[in-house]
């Protein structure tokens, strides 16, 4: 097994490094610090904007977005994409703007949008000038999303939208929402849904923040009452929003599956075990803790090699199939188990939240622990992912409850 890159790719890596040395200085790197696991969208600074513009010009960011809409329009090359991520991360350089606008809406518009929609939305989204939220989930429609009931009725040149969305991340900051709305109440459940773009400043929209376990308010409920949405603000045809939304979810899953943050958590966990005393000695010397650490590291190494396997398959343009389906569960469950061990090592101190005096590592692990529940649910829950692996990956019979 040869896991090294060919000379062509090593040359590409040198080129990317030279670019970063020239355009993202030591001072920039120091100021940028470590990227958070789940970065929230925000307007970019002038310095970040100038750097991203150079990176697009060089062909390193927004590779699948046409140049006409602010992308760098590069042919797909899994190895080059990975090298770019590795080198940008090492240099703490800005990558693509985080959030659902770039990760989910932009690929959807590239695939399904009209020329006018592409023109209006893609470029300001990739520069971070337009922030988006995803209005899919509703009370009673999460895993079984096609049960959604927010309805849109055509009235002249406008849709009149009424209903409620829930768990809508960063709706308070968003300028626009891409939403699923039922427009054909008599059609079978998957065929009556339309993919709609709704401006958040439209009268009739109320955003109510939801308080989370960790004290934050990244989620909201969004109420829509007689919201008037221009008739042409839909992506794909009327009633055909389900396949459009599926292509977005495909991108969301790819976005969640990486292992770099898991490796960082593991390294932090080892440090925690070195510096925390358990029964009079560093926790890392405790046999039970060591055994659990070794088991977790074995899973981590397996996940990292699995990533290389997927990369090789993508590089050879092979369908990743079952191998691709297992990534999200493997990494999100591993992340959960890592921080679970951190909490055991911390003992009573695990009850101290972020910012509290004496909270080990400033409460970082406690916060990370709470976030792992988000990872296990967002982008399709672990149970649902297992169903998908069983049914689509292993060809087992369909879950009777979800038969259509």
Nearer to ligand FAD, 169 or 276 (CB): 169
Query: What would the two tokens of residue 311 be?
Result: 């990369």
Reduced to 3 states (helix: H, G, I; strand: E, B; else coil), residue 97 is coil
252 is catalytic: yes
Which of 98, 90, 81, 84 minimizes the C-alpha distance to 26?
A: 90
| Burial readout 124-153 (b: 16 or more C-beta within 10 A, e: otherwise) | bbbbbebbbbbbbbbeebbeebbebebbbe
Nearest-approach distance from CB 2 to ligand FAD, in angstroms: 38
Catalytic residue among 252, 297, 304, 391: 252
Minimum Å distance from CB 165 to ligand FAD? 6
Please, what sign has the CA dihedral across residues 306, 60, 35, 283? positive
CA distance 262 to 336: 9
- Of residues 123 and 133, the one with the C-beta less far from ligand FAD: 133
Which of residues 183 and 314 has its CB atom nearest to ligand FAD in the complex? 183
Could you write out the DSSP letters of every residue in 50-74? Answer: HHHHHHHHTT-SSTTS-GGGT----
Residue 382 Cβ vs ligand FAD, minimum distance, rounded to whole Å: 6
Q: Which CB sits closer to ligand FAD, 226 or 383? A: 383
Residue placing its CB nearer to ligand FAD in the complex, 256 or 353 = 256
CB of 130 to ligand FAD, least distance (A): 16
d(CA 30, CA 11): 27
For residue 374, give the DSSP letter. H
Minimum CB distance to ligand FAD, residue 324 (Å): 20
Binding site for ligand FAD (CB under 6 A): 133-137, 142-143, 167-169, 374, 377-378, 381, 383-384, 387, 399, 401-402
DSSP structure string for 314-351: HHTT---HHHHHTHHHHHHHHHHHHHHHHHHHHGGGGG
- Annotated active-site positions, please? 252
């Amino acid at each position: 097994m040869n896991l090294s890159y060919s000379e062509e790719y090593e040359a590409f890596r040198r080129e990317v490094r030279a670019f970063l040395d020239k355009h993202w200085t030591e001072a920039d790197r120091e100021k940028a610090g470590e990227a958070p696991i789940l970065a929230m969208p925000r307007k970019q600074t002038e310095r970040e904007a100038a750097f991203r513009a150079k990176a697009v010009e060089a062909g390193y960011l927004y590779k699948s977005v046409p140049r006409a809409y602010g992308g760098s329009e590069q042919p797909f090359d899994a190895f080059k994409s990975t090298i770019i991520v590795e080198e940008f991360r090492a240099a703490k350089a800005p990558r693509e703007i985080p959030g659902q606008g770039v990760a989910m809406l932009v690929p959807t518009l590239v695939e399904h949008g009209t020329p006018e929609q592409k023109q209006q939305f893609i470029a300001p989204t990739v520069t971070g000038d337009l922030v988006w939220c995803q209005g899919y989930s509703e009370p009673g429609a999460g895993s079984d999303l096609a049960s959604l009931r927010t309805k849109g009725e055509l009235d002249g040149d406008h849709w009149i939208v009424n209903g409620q969305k829930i768990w809508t991340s960063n709706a308070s900051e968003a300028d626009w929402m891409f939403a699923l709305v039922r427009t054909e109440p008599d059609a079978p459940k998957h065929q009556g849904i339309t993919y709609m773009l709704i401006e958040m400043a439209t009268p009739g929209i109320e955003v109510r923040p939801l308080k989370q376990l960790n004290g934050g308010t990244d989620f909201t409920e969004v109420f829509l009452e007689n919201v008037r949405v221009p008739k042409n603000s839909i992506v794909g045809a009327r009633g055909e929003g389900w396949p459009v939304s599926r292509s977005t979810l495909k991108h969301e899953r790819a976005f969640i599956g990486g292992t770099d943050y898991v490796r960082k958590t593991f390294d932090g966990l080892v440090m925690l075990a070195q510096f925390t005393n358990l029964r009079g000695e560093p926790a890392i010397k405790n046999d039970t803790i060591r055994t659990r650490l070794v088991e977790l590291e074995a899973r981590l190494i397996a996940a990292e090699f699995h990533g290389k396997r997927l990369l090789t398959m993508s590089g050879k343009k092979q369908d990743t199939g079952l191998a691709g389906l297992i990534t999200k569960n493997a990494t999100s469950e591993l992340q959960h188990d890592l921080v679970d061990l951190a909490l055991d090592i911390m003992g009573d101190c695990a009850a101290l939240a972020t910012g509290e005096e004496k909270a080990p590592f400033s409460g970082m692990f406690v916060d990370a622990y709470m976030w792992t529940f988000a990872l296990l649910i967002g982008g399709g829950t672990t149970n649902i992912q297992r169903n998908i692996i069983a049914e689509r990956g292993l060809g087992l019979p369909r879950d009777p409850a979800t038969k259509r």
